[in-house]
A and B are shown apart, each in its own frame.
Chain A
Amino acid sequence: DAKTTQPNSMESNEEEPVHLPCNHSTISGTDYIHWYRQLPSQGPEYVIHGLTSNVNNRMASLAIAEDRKSSTLILHRATLRDAAVYYCILNVGGGADGLTFGKGTHLIIQP
């Protein structure tokens, strides 16, 4: 199984950028990197995904290392509403077997 490794928790201050790291040293060439987040008392929601190039959307940016063995989710200006568990997931085999969520990173935002 292609695995990801994330810190259990991170803390940041409101209105500051947040960089959430993810290691995936066993990634293969066709595995997409997905990020989901789970707000309190809700199911996970999609944040962003990428393959090789850095990606931006309205929620976040995804920076992917050149060797693809790691990636970083960037929240440019964190708000209290960004406090959540963030999951870094590899879409192995095109997702044919469902996404495998790990334990994620619990992001705490201090006012």
Chain B
Amino acid sequence: DVKVTQSSRYLVKRTGEKVFLECVQDMDHENMFWYRQDPGLGLRLIYFSYDVKMKEKGDIPEGYSVSREKKERFSLILESASTNQTSMYLCASSLLLTGKDYTFGSGTRLTVV
């Protein structure tokens, strides 16, 4: 089974802290994605990556950055966490871009206090 593993299930951070959310996939997928999910808003795409060292902005990249130094790992970085970044963060990977093989992790629930 394809596995997408997110390093933390729950995380509590203070306002202004630099936060790293880690995602690792074990199926040699080219594409990786970061979404956030909020009640009433559905999933919104933050950043994605087609390849190592490549990154593309999604719909809501403000306040976030990403890093992809290795194919299997895609990190989401909150440079200075704010309370409005309290959310569920979901990582996904896919081999194809056709949309039929996205595999998601279980999510990291981040609370910024």
Contact = CB atoms under 8 A, between A and B. Distances in A.
Contacts of B58: 97-98
B26 interface: no
B43 interface: yes
Interface in B72-113: 90, 92, 96-107
B48 A98 contact: yes
Interface in A72-111: 87, 89, 91, 94-104
Contact of A45 (B44, B56, B104, B107): B104
A44 B106 contact: no
Contacts, number: 66
Contacts of B92: 43-44
Nearest to B101: A46
Contacts of A45: 103-104
Interface in A38-95: 41-46, 49, 87, 89, 91, 94-95
Contacts of A101: 35, 42-44
Contact of A32 (B35, B99, B101): B99
14 contacts: A34-B100, A36-B102, A41-B106, A43-B106, A44-B102, A95-B97, A95-B99, A96-B97, A97-B48, A97-B56, A99-B99, A100-B45, A100-B59, A103-B40
